[in-house]
Structure 1
């Protein structure tokens, strides 16, 4: 027996309003326009009138792509939302076009591999999440490339310490264990 899932398509109304419009306000995480939940596209312009940011909203919650640009027209970041929750792959770039971060979300929570890079392109962090909780290998580096932290999270327990290169159990019988 197969289960069917009905997909509901939400379309964004054609209204476009500049983000600095005084009619915008927030109430309990909902974007209001003229005191009603906003559905449409909110945008922000640079002084030269080029687009700085575009975000879409449905019923006052971000829904769809939110994109930000640098003044030279290069994409600075892109994020996707479903009914106000982060979803899918979110990316940002440094002004020179190198990747700044790549995060993955599921139902508003970090899920999967999350990476951050230094401006020179070297990897800064690699974290792994399952439904918003760290799980698996977690690593951080200094900007010179040397290891800053290396630990593993398994079933909610941390093995290893930030700043320690090899993984050891950090707690034994509720006391810290010396490295042998």
Structure 2
């Protein structure tokens, strides 16, 4: 008797997991050129013909036909991958949204293809590392966040690589070089 009950429980569990993992999409998902779309902004919602828009919007350069951006919406909210491009078709930025909130890895690039920024977000706030680089590839920012709050090692550099700010946040307190005007390194003041 125990074996059929366990089999039934496993079958029900499998069915529930299968149904809950289904992608929710609007049956009226559109793919539209932004130049031909007449929509209304209502707060964070995008409305098209009075209903929340679900679909993909893109814009092309009028002279070259190159794609300038691609945006995805679900039920009027940003949802999915957003990409913007330089006129030379190189990726400018790639961001992800879920139900109108920033999520996951957000990347930005300089015109030369070098990485400009790399941010981790969760539920619309920074969560994880936040890094930025200048046009030559020199890191200029390395910050760490937990649920929108700075935590751990934080560093900023000048474009030439000289450290500007270097501190740690532990137990809601900052320890180290903050980089404010009144703050100088001990080694600079001893001569």
- TM-score bracket, shorter-length normalisation: 0.7 to 0.9
Alignment map for 1:80-159 (pairs within 5 Å): 80-159=96-175
Structure 2 unaligned segments of length 5 or more: list them: 1-12, 187-191
The structure with more helix, counted as a fraction of residues? 2
Aligned equivalent of 1:7: 21
Deviation, 1:11, is: 3.0
Cα distance between partner residues in 2 of 1:149 and 1:26:
40
Pairwise CA RMSD: 2.3
Q: Tell me how far 1:71 sits from its aligned partner.
A: 1.2
2:178 aligns to what SS in structure 1? coil
What is the TM-score normalised by the length of structure 2?
Answer: 0.78
Secondary structure at 2:113's aligned position in 1? coil
Tell whether the 8 Å contact from 1:87 to 1:105 is kept in structure 2 after alignment: yes
1:25 corresponds to which residue? 40
Contact 1:149 1:165 in 2 (8 A): no
For 2:184 and 2:52, the matched residues in 1 are separated by 50
* Higher gyration radius (CA): 2
Identify if the C-alpha distance between structure 1 residues 20 and 160 changes in structure 2 by more than 3 Å, giving closer, same or farther.
farther
> Following the alignment from structure 2 to structure 1, what is the Cα–Cα distance between the partners of residues 154 and 35?
40
- Contact 1:127 1:139 survives alignment (8 Å): yes
Distance in 1 (alpha carbons) for counterparts of 2:73 and 2:184: 45
Q: Given the superposition, is the C-alpha separation of residues 20 and 80 from structure 1 closer, same or farther in structure 2, using an over 3 Å criterion?
A: same
Deviation string 1:77-107 (CA, Å, 9 cap, x unpaired) is 1111111111111111111110000001112
Matched position secondary structure for 2:79: strand
Match of 2:10 in 1: none
Change (3 A) 1:21 1:38: same
CA distance in 1 between partners of 2:155 and 2:36 (Å):
43
- Cα distance, 1:22–1:8 mapped onto 2, change above 3 Å: closer
